[in-house]
Homo-oligomer: A and B are copies of this chain.
Amino acid sequence: MQPNPDRSSPEVDEPQPDERWRIRRTWDDLDRLGETESVFALSNGWLGWRGTLDEGDPVDMPGSYLNGLHECRELTYPEDGYAFPQLSDTVISAPNATLVRLWVGDEPLDLRTGTVVAHEQVLDLRAGVIERRTEWISPAGDGVRVRSTRLVSLRRRRVGAVDWTVEPLDGPVDVRICADLLANERVPDRGDDPRAASLIQDPLAAELHRVDGADALLVHRTERSGQRVAVAVAHRTAVPEHITTGVDATPDRIRLTLIGSLRPGERAQLTKFAAYEWAPVADSSVEELAGQVTVEADAARAAGFAGLLAEHRAALASAWRAADVVLDGDEELQLAIRFAMFHLIQAGRTDGDRAIAAKGLTGNGYDGHVLWDTEGYVLPVLTYIAPDVARSALRWRHAHLPQAFDRAAELRLTGATFPWRTISGRECSGYWPAGTAGLHVNADIADAVLRYVAATGDEDLLTGPGLELLVATARLWHGFGHFTDDGSFHIVGVTGPDEYSALVDDNLFTNLMARRNLRGAADAVERHPEAAGRLDVDPTEVAGWRAAAEAMTVPYDPKRAVHQQAAGFTDRPEWNFGDTGDDDYPLLLHFPYLELYRHQVVKQADLVLAMLRCPGEFTAEEKAANFAYYEARTVRDSSLSAAPQGVLAAELGHLDLAYDLFAESVLQDLKDLGDKTGDGLHLASLGGAWLALVQGFGGLRDDRELLSFDPRLPDRIDRLAFSLIWHGHRLHVTLTADEARYELPDAEGDAAIELWHHGERLRVTAGQSTTRPMPPLPDLGPEPPSPPGRRPARR
């Protein structure tokens, strides 16, 4: 959509609040509506509303998501195969309670018509709301000002609310206001792009629609996934007396209508308090679920919008204490990293065991599936800024362990095999070489357990779900791998993180992560023999794990003096970058897998990610050589890539490159660098942005018993400050060009955290800050080249 060209850009002149916390979109941005809807998505990890306009049109993709609510669809294959998934989960929308449609005279409010005097939507990252303000003159010449504030409560998981007001601009106007609760909203078809959602139209079958005064209720169920969803909306209105109210209800829509005239100085205010819940049909009744949401909506109305907002803001402020990152020196990226942290705060919940999907609850991309993005890129952040949320996500994996056991049995493997992509826990990957064969997801889950336990000391989780996850995944690796005659242990025929390779032998990332998994499980078993006994683990089995871990193959090419991403990788033919044009990216849309798989071309950090996750497995020299080798062959066709590359670039002292990679990661969605933000945000990229800062410039490594920092700042950053929660204490780290400061701002008494700073062991205690100088950077020579045309944009 193009803005109407015969009209100058409208302007808004009001006092501006702190813009370092506000993302603003105006009428000029209407041509990137889908992107805005994702960027402005509000969520509490349970309920998610895309940032659509109140009036519902224009819209790119509506979305009201409830974590776990999905439908199933059949997968069909041109050539079917054993254990190919026959059903896939796909996220669907719950009824949309955000809608407030307005007619002014006979004209519906639609920013594509009439005259837009002013329009802006603001995502306030500190308040956790979308503020919307529009001044619009209808084609018939009637002017109105519309304002709204929307929130999804971080305090009440089922609740979202919209506070909406209209007033005349000049003269009197006739208005008709329709507050809709709408099920089965039409979702646009996105065509063939495999990364977009497989859309199911009209997924909800009506079970109940009820109106009680100003309260609306819809209950629906899905056909195949066996889920029931209920939404109640309690309304509150503040309108002049001469406005009349009516209600119109159908199975898929309940509409509260206000009709009348507004004189200058009058306004009509409508507040919608919505409550959502779903439950398995087998475990719920219509009335039971209806009752829950009705009570919740009534309670929210009783609290009032201001009350909801206050408690929501307080919860958000609490989350920001650990999550905020201060980045002085680059205002755009300061705002961008806060945007990233805001969505990470929104992604998960501490109450209830819920998944964190690759796109959170911001869009239907990837069918709403959970991928390894969560354990690989999101939990490494949440473990330090919201450990309870990380715990909840790990418990969600654990809750689906029975399905992982079943899948392993179906695949005739030992232990457990977690799905490559799923909502319900079933494997939903329809192209197994880049899905089910990505067995590393199992080691990624184990890695997330080990990190969480190390950072929190949560032995409850370790002896319960944690141990079960570690043992089940260790058993997978031990059974899947094999010893060869020379005594070495191999894992063959799998796919690592890089999706431009598949079915390789001894993928270095997989092998090192499996080693960590095996050792971590062995350590945990030995620390908790009683719990391990309940899982029938005996010392012989543990000895087998340790033997496999010790003998794990780490492919290395002595001639080129670099590690191999997988056995034989460096012997593969080189990609012909000379004949690859700018239009040929992303390569997967222009070259067959047949070509991609056999060449030395890397979609995304794989060996580089291994150097980040398992830093102790490499010498500094090896890291430098490996980084240079793989940087030249990594095209970053995946949003998962920039961040780990940035971390390693920072570690190796290539700080400008690191900064540019960080910028790419943190701007992935704000600038829609992959042209896919409209389908939802890339949580892994947003998590990666934090990793690029904290692991990159902060130099955080967490593979040893204590946290370790090797900070080094690029010129562009004057000050970098962030927090980490470690065993219940918030460690605050402030870095400047001259010094690193470590503090425990919230701690009292003899609380202390020991850590490493550039190889020196420090003890940080409550009540005082510990500072150390930043060491000079060694001269590491020129920046390793990226593939032609593929270096990240210079800032």
Contact = CB atoms under 8 A, between A and B. Distances in A.
Interface string A46-80: 00000000000000000000000000000111111
B595 A81 contact: no
22 contacts: A76-B78, A77-B77, A77-B431, A78-B430, A78-B431, A79-B429, A79-B430, A79-B435, A81-B431, A81-B593, A82-B593, A83-B592, A410-B592, A412-B590, A412-B595, A432-B592, A437-B594, A485-B559, A493-B594, A503-B503, A503-B597, A567-B568
Given A503-B503, A559-B485, A571-B484, A82 B598 contact: no
A670 interface: no
A399 B413 CA distance: 47
A730 B214 CA distance: 97
A137 B192 CA distance: 60
Interface in A435-494: 435-437, 482, 484-485, 490, 492-494
A573 interface: yes
Interface string A593-630: 11101100000000000000000000000000000000
A572 interface: yes
A566 to B, nearest CB: 11
Contact of A413 (B85, B572, B595): B595
Nearest to A504: B503
A502 interface: yes
Contacts of A213: none
A77 to B, nearest CB: 7
A79 B594 contact: no
Interface of A is mostly: loop
Given A79-B429, A412-B595, A567-B568, 11 more contacts: A77-B430, A79-B435, A81-B593, A82-B588, A82-B590, A411-B595, A490-B573, A493-B572, A493-B597, A494-B598, A568-B568
Contact of A592 (B411, B430, B594): B411
A505 interface: yes
Given A492-B572, A598-B492, A81 B588 contact: yes
Quick one: copies of this chain in the complex? 2
Interface in A559-585: 559, 567-568, 571-573
Given A437-B594, A594-B437, A76 B76 contact: yes
Interface string A74-107: 0111111111010010000000000000000000
A749 interface: no
A194 interface: yes
A164 to B, nearest CB: 41
A334 to B, nearest CB: 38
A433 interface: yes
A589 interface: yes
A83 B593 CA distance: 9
B77 A88 contact: no
Interface string A498-512: 000011010000000
Given A78-B76, A588-B82, A598-B493, A432 B194 contact: no
A413 B82 CA distance: 31
A405 B503 CA distance: 28
A331 to B, nearest CB: 40
A385 B98 CA distance: 78
Nearest to A76: B76
Nearest to A597: B493
10 closest Cβ pairs, A-B complex: A78-B430, A493-B598, A482-B573, A79-B431, A75-B78, A83-B592, A79-B194, A79-B430, A80-B194, A492-B598
A714 B75 CA distance: 51
Contacts of A80: 192, 194
B436 A594 contact: yes
A81 B76 CA distance: 15
Nearest to A437: B594
B492 A573 contact: yes
Contacts of A192: 80
- Most B CB contacts (10 A, CB to CB) among A429, A484, A593 go to A593
Nearest to A78: B430
A87 to B, nearest CB: 11
Nearest to A503: B503
A488 to B, nearest CB: 10
A1 to B, nearest CB: 27
Contacts of A568: 505, 567-568
Given A592-B436, A594-B436, A194 B567 contact: no
Contacts of A559: 485
Contacts of A490: 571, 573
Interface residues of A, number: 52
Contacts of A594: 411, 432, 436-437, 493
Contact of A78 (B82, B88, B412): B88
Contacts of A567: 568
A629 to B, nearest CB: 15
Given A76-B76, A82-B588, A432 B493 contact: no
A603 B631 CA distance: 40
Contacts of A492: 572-573, 598
A432 B593 contact: yes
Nearest to A75: B78
Contacts of A503: 433, 502-503, 597-598
A228 to B, nearest CB: 27
Contacts of A79: 194, 429-431, 434-435
Contacts of A590: 82, 412
A591 B81 CA distance: 9
Contacts of A413: 595
Contacts of A429: 79
A81 B194 contact: yes
Interface in A406-434: 410-413, 429-434
B430 A433 contact: no
B77 A78 contact: yes
A85 B77 CA distance: 12
A131 to B, nearest CB: 39
Contacts of A433: 433, 503
Nearest to A481: B573
Nearest to A193: B80
Interface string A180-222: 0000000000001010000000000000000000000000000
A716 B690 CA distance: 77
Nearest to A559: B485
A231 B733 CA distance: 85
Nearest to A80: B194
Interface string A277-289: 0000000000000
A194 B492 CA distance: 27
A436 B597 CA distance: 13
A482 B482 CA distance: 31
A143 to B, nearest CB: 49
Contacts of A77: 77-78, 194, 430-431
A412 B592 contact: yes
A434 B77 CA distance: 14
A194 to B, nearest CB: 5
Contacts of A411: 592, 594-595
Contacts of A597: 493, 503
Contacts of A595: 411-413
A559 B484 CA distance: 12
